[in-house]
Amino acid sequence: MPPMLSPGARARAGGLAVALALLTFAAAASPPTIELQQAWVRWLPPTVPDTALFGMLINPTDHAVRLVGGTTPAAKRCVPMTTVRKDTGSASGPVMEMVSVDALVIPAHGRLVLEPGGDHLMIMGLQKALVAGQPMQVTLMFEGADALTVSVPVVRK
């Protein structure tokens, strides 16, 4: 036979049970978030006003998510970009050109690699010189997922 509880103890136990149920529901109802792995920002000399963020974005959701940009206190704006091969018709051959895009797509249950010479997040209008080894705070903005704020190391590569 279970021990007898006083009315106050029963009320506290009932309140605790409700609180735990709500926390469990909230945790289960929270959408999975996008994850950024192996991230880094390229260090460039102080005379260069722009840099880029690289890494791998992981999407655990059942739907595609779009990286639409970002913000950082270190720069004026963050723009998704891709690198395309452009045929110039000259003897020197094609050139690689960075092009801003509305968004970069992270497929459902997939990943998006941000890398030099490919897709990346351009960080434009740096407010001060970057310091190699020091982190840069960046908030990535998505359609289809919550924003993600990360601290990313500045690396000489």
Spatial separation of the C-alpha atoms in residues 152 and 11, rounded to whole Å: 48
The predicted structure's pLDDT at residue 4:
63
Beta pairing, strands 35-42 & 148-155: parallel
Which stretch of DSSP H or E encloses residue 130? Answer: none
- Which amino acid is located at 85 in the chain? R
**CATH number belonging to the domain at 35-155, selected among 3.40.50.150, 3.20.20.150, 2.60.40.1890, 3.40.190.10:** 2.60.40.1890
Which stretch of DSSP H or E encloses residue 64? Answer: none
pTM: predicted TM-score of the whole model, two decimal places: 0.77
Query: 143: which 2 tokens?
Result: 């359609």
* Alpha-carbon separation of residue 51 from 88, 98, 110 (angstroms): 26, 12, 26
The pLDDT tens digits for 123-153 are: 999 999 999 999 999 999 999 999 999 999 9
Structural domain boundaries in the chain: 1-30, 35-155
Q: Is the dihedral of CA 75, 115, 151, 154 positive or negative?
A: negative
Task: State CA 83 to chain mean position distance.
Answer: 19
Q: 53 forms bridges with which residues in the sheet?
A: 41, 121
Average pLDDT over the chain, rounded to an integer: 86
User: Taking 60 as the threshold, does the pLDDT of residue 25 lie above it?
Assistant: no
Q: What is the DSSP string of 71-136?
A: E-TTEEEEEEEEEEEE---STT--EEEEEE-S-EEE-TTEEEEE-TTSSEEEEEEESS---TTSEE
Query: 12: which 2 tokens?
Result: 């506290």
Spatial separation of the C-alpha atoms in residues 25 and 34, rounded to whole Å: 20
Provide mean pLDDT across the span 107-123. Answer: 97
